[in-house]
Amino acid sequence: MSGLSIDYSTQLHYLWALLPEVVLSIGAMVVLLVDVFQREDRGGPSSPLVFWLAVGFTLATAVANGWLLTVEEVVPTGMIAVDAFRVFANYLFLLAVVLFLMMSGRYLDEERLRSGELYALILFATVGMMVFAGARDLMVVFIGLELMSVPIYVLTGVNRRDPRAAEGALKYFLMGAFSSAFFLFGVALVYGGTGTTNIALIGLTLGPEGLGSNALVVLGVAMLAVGFGFKVAAVPFHMWTPDAYEGAPTPVTALMAAAVKAAAFAAFLRVFLTAFPGLYGVWDAIAIWLAVLTMIAANLVALVEGNVKRMLAYSSIAHAGYLLVALAAATVTGAASFLFYLVVYTLMTMGAFAVVMVVGRRGEAHLDLEDYAGLGWTRPLLGVVMTIFMLSLAGFPFTGGFIGKVYILQAAVGRGLVWLAVVLVMTSLISYYYYLRVAWYMWFRDGEAAAGEGIVVSTGTRVALIAAAGLVVLLGIFPGELLELAARSATSLFRQPGALAGPLGF
């Protein structure tokens, strides 16, 4: 199939364009069926076979995703994009899935959760993420959004014995349905103003002037921004986030904070840079003020959080603000820094939640800062990797988080958003307090939890933690290769019909 040219006038070619999603969908169904038929006891645990099937199909999807780089589109206006940006985003989602599979095994056994069902739901949700980020039609974007969201709603409340899970899932579902309504209404308004839902054709229809007098399109853009704002947990659309993150099983929370947010941002970037470049003067103000509110509010609330899991929830909201700065820049530099930061953010966020999972133990009863007292001395591995993740989240030099923020700042300054860059720096300085407070408790505070009794780190979790921490440090020292790859992937997005022209170089 090398060198295949995709012609969207032939329906079969959509199968090739969606090959990674097809492979992963088949994998999810196989995992679910094997989990059902291998049980002698319906209430018993899942077989280890379902884990290896999930891993195998994830790797097979990665191969199929790489194959897309050999494919060319005859006309780049199909309903699904085949470009380097989509391939990069897909690999990011698959990385998050692999980390989830590695870190979750022992946790699921301890909490008596059926891993087969969870793995199938995770794979289906990942298919939704891939469609969401790669769609070139607003209706397909909506399909991907719902395909991603519905399994995540279920996963949030999958631990039926925990009332926090039920509360978090209900809030997430209600807010998610609310945001989907906004998004769909925005799609309808854009269609009414342009006569199409194809992202590339919308950009061509609006042209460089953006039909600014078209009130339907302007209102539709605002509605789409609200819908995306809910999905990326930007302030003031973040109300569901702390409770949903706290109530969900910690591995699921890690995936929500990393992969789900990454998918929403990738779709946000593709839609607004490709469909509405002529309306940049309208939606840039929305992105800028969402970024400012998100960075300030989330960091201030996180300062007073004593629950580490909730603190990381507000941390993820704050990082949504940093990513919104890259979106507001709307340049190749901004998009490239956006992709680079998403990779680092995924590694450090999933790693930090993995430590929270291990320290929390069965029932997640140890989530307060006091439970981390002396942890660095009694569990050196956990102490060291958690310190690395906290320093990177804060943006300390020689970490991937620092490099990512530097390039986001470069994009903002290059666009002339100097004051927004200053807000990013100041709010990052505020975040130093609550990130370093965790490290201080682990290394300089004594407490009853210092003995670390009951803390067991499984082999898979150990490998995931070491790999994530190592990559965070490596990308902080040698970021060049990933930055170059991110720049090439971002450039493919700006080559779409109707996309912003003349972006800043990297």
Q: Look at residues 86, 83, 19 and name the one whose alpha carbon lies nearest to residue 57.
A: 19
Tokens of 36: 């059902």
Per-residue confidence (pLDDT) for residue 209, from 0 to 100: 62
The reply to whether 500 falls in a domain is no
User: Own/partner pairs for 420-427, CB < 8 Å, 24+ apart?
Assistant: 420/288, 420/291, 420/292, 420/325, 420/328, 421/325, 423/291, 423/292, 423/295, 423/296, 424/291, 424/295, 424/321, 424/322, 424/325, 427/295, 427/296, 427/299, 427/318, 427/321
The reply to whether 505 falls in a domain is no
Q: Which of 55-69, 111-125, 342-356, 378-392 has the least mean pLDDT?
A: 111-125
Contacts of 43 (CB under 8 A, 6+ apart): none
Per-residue confidence (pLDDT) for residue 421, from 0 to 100: 93
Q: Looking at the predicted structure, is the pLDDT value of residue 158 above 50? A: yes
The reply to whether 433 falls in a domain is yes
Q: Looking at the predicted structure, is the pLDDT value of residue 212 above 60? A: no
Per-residue pLDDT tens over the stretch 226-264: 999 998 888 888 888 888 888 888 889 999 989 999 999
Instruction: Round the average pLDDT of the chain to a whole number and report it.
Output: 86
CA-to-CA separations, 76 to 39, 81, 202, 416, 424, in angstroms, rounded: 47, 7, 13, 31, 36
Half-sphere exposure of 222 (CA within 13 A, CB side): 9
Degrees (nearest 5) of the Cα angle 294, 152, 286?
25
Q: Look at residues 303, 304, 300 and name the one whose alpha carbon lies nearest to residue 321.
A: 300
Core vs surface per residue 393-426: b (16+ CB within 10 A) or e? bbbbeebbbbbbbebbbbbbebbebeebbebbee
Instruction: In whole angstroms, give the CA distance from residue 494 to residue 498.
Output: 9
Residue whose entry in the numeric block shows the structure tokens 């109300």: 239
298: containing domain: 5-494
The reply to whether 116 falls in a domain is yes
Per-residue pLDDT tens over the stretch 316-348: 999 999 999 999 988 888 889 989 999 999 999
| Span 431-447, average pLDDT | 88
pLDDT confidence tier of residue 419, bands split at 50, 70 and 90: very high
The reply to whether 503 falls in a domain is no
Tokens of 468: 């994530």
The reply to whether 103 falls in a domain is yes
The reply to whether 217 falls in a domain is yes
Q: Look at residues 382, 404, 434, 282 and name the one whose alpha carbon lies nearest to residue 336.
A: 404
Tell me how crowded residue 248 is: count the other CB atoms within 10 A of its CB: 27
The reply to whether 417 falls in a domain is yes
Tally of structural domains, the chain: 1
Tokens of 166: 């039920």
User: Taking the model in full, what pTM does it have?
Assistant: 0.91
